Amino acid sequence: MAEIQLHNTLSGKVEPFVPQKPGEVRMYTCGPTVYDYAHIGNYRTFVFQDILRRFLKLRGYKLLHVMNLTDVDDRIIANSAAAGKSIRDYTEKFVQAFFDDCKTLSIEPPEHWIRATDHIADMVQLIKRLQEKSFTYPGEGSIYYRITKFPAYGKLSKIDLSGIQAGARVDNDRYEKESARDFALWKAPKPGEHFWETAIGPGRPGWHIECSAMAMKYLGETLDIHTGGIDLAFPHHENEIAQSEAATGKPFARYWLHAEHLLVEGEKMSKSLGNFFTLRDLFAKGYKPSALRFALASVPYRKQLNFTFDGLTQATNSVERLRNFADRLKTGKFPAGKQEGMAARIAKAAEEFDASLSDDLNTARALAAMFDLVRDANTAIDKGEFRQGDVVATQQFLAGFDRVFAVLEDNDAAKLQALGFSASEASLSDADIERLIAERNAAKKKRDFPAADVIRKELADHGIILEDAKDGSVRWKRK
Ligand code: AMP
Ligand code: ZN
């Protein structure tokens, strides 16, 4: 097996991955801020983390993986106050939707899924440690981190601090590099906002202290891997390092992995542009969970992912191709014995698959290794050359592939029904419809009208209406 290499934002380099304790990986992932439904960009990052954990497990590592739910930050405080709800009541719906979405995308649950609001005491404790070491100062009931006291500040995001003004403060959880300043560890309550009464005064934690306190509580003072989307590198992760390392004097995380963002049709996703999608938006359009997972996983995590509907249709077809191949192996009748060279061909594909993922999780290359084998094996089957004796090795390779990619099981309809989509909505994607229309056209061309009618009825049963134009083309719409 190849040596695992990962890109570390801290060093700016691809490095061999060696965990502190042989055979075990301690990993922390910044989870969603549950102020709204998560969008497909968020899931790009969560699917990347899932591919990483699944690959490490495939390679035999025991995972201790923590993902938090940020259920207190500026936006949640503001939204829950505006809705007149407690934080728990306000966030509950989005927490549940997140769990449901993860299940739908076959994102494995981490070993610990934790909430920030269950760990306020740990955050207060960490702030006290920082107070004792004089890394903090008070201001109008809040407590700030003094970044000039931590000379390594900026080592992750490589920001230039030469122009920084000592004592200048920023209160927002999220801000740009240009406004790098002392940030709030603890925020004084504003009228109408939820707050906690604690040993360091009334208030609520800043976003950054949450992750430092929770990560170290479950994983120890030095983690193996810390992950998130690229937008979190600054200020969130930079501040996590400053807080944790100031308190412990030890390196906080050894490998920092960041996923590049997802764009939609080449543009930044935004509600105002009308290109903002949650999972449910796509399922309502007839796309399948497996296709979305495939599309999100198929672009290596350090490349921007340009999400398009064409790409999603291609992903639908790719998953279909894999499932058909798996079915063919399961149900096909092949001549006994082994085809010459096929065992070596399968071993080569497995080696290439492992080498690709070891190469900083090059998922595109790993998929190419899979599809090359599928093409070769399908050709051999078509020619009657593929033999029964090669079935098990091929199936084993497929099973290993699916421990990471998790798209082979045909459970899309059940998943969609669990989310509340009806059976008909749950079963046909745009790609399925196009395929059925093509089959109907082919039947009509052969003058097999009964077959064409069966397909028209199948589509009608799923709420799809066909309109045959005079020029022979067919348009369709959902009822
Ligand atoms: P948030 O809920 O805003 O804290 O984001 C949850 C995760 O999604 C973080 O790791 C973000 O970096 C990541 N994220 C946010 N927007 C995108 C995007 N467009 N593409 C990929 N990841 C994103
Ligand atoms: Zn975090």
pLDDT in tens, 238-297: 999 999 999 999 999 999 999 999 999 999 998 888 899 999 999 999 999 999 999 999
Q: How far is the CA of 246 from the centre of ligand 1 (A)?
A: 27
Output the pLDDT for position 180. 86
40-67: average pLDDT: 98
Output the pLDDT for position 38. 96
Q: How far is the CA of 230 from the centre of ligand 2 (A)?
A: 12
Instruction: Name the residue at shortest CA distance from atom 18 of ligand 1.
Output: 41
Q: Where are the alpha helices (DSSP H) in 406-467?
A: 412-418, 423-427, 430-445, 449-461
Indicate which atom in ligand 1 lies nearest the CA of residue 232: 12
Whether residue 15 has pLDDT greater than 80 = yes
CA distance 300 to 14: 14
Task: Check: CB of residue 128 under 8 Å from CB of residue 199.
Answer: yes
Residue 420 to residues 36, 96, 425, 428, 431: CA-CA distances in angstroms? 19, 14, 10, 15, 22
Indicate which atom in ligand 1 lies nearest the CA of residue 34: 2
Task: Check: CB of residue 224 under 8 Å from CB of residue 20.
Answer: yes
Residue 297 to residues 52, 217, 259: CA-CA distances in angstroms? 11, 30, 11
Whether residue 97 has pLDDT greater than 70 = yes
CB distance 40 to ligand 1 below 6 Å: no
CB distance 29 to ligand 1 below 6 Å: no
Amino acid identity for residue 319 in this structure: V
**Of 286, 281, 279, the residue nearest 430 (C-alpha):** 286
CB distance 32 to ligand 1 below 6 Å: yes
Output the pLDDT for position 424. 63
134-151: average pLDDT: 96
Output the pLDDT for position 315. 97
Output the pLDDT for position 249. 98
* Residues, CB-to-ion distance under 5 Å, ligand 2: 30, 211
Mean of per-residue pLDDT scores for the chain:
94
CB distance 59 to ligand 1 below 6 Å: no
The model's pTM: 0.90
Laid out side by side, the sheet with 62-69 consists of: 112-115, 62-69, 24-29, 223-229, 253-259
Q: Which of 30, 33, 45, 50 to mutate to test the pocket of ligand 1 (most atoms within 8 A of CB)?
A: 45
Task: Check: CB of residue 301 under 8 Å from CB of residue 257.
Answer: yes
CB distance 30 to ligand 1 below 6 Å: yes
Residue 417 phi/psi, 5° resolution?
A: -65, -35
Least trusted range by pLDDT, from 52-61, 111-120, 318-327, 445-454: 445-454
CA distance 147 to 129: 16
Instruction: Name the residue at shortest CA distance from atom 19 of ligand 1.
Output: 41
Indicate which atom in ligand 1 lies nearest the CA of residue 35: 2
Whether residue 379 has pLDDT greater than 70 = yes
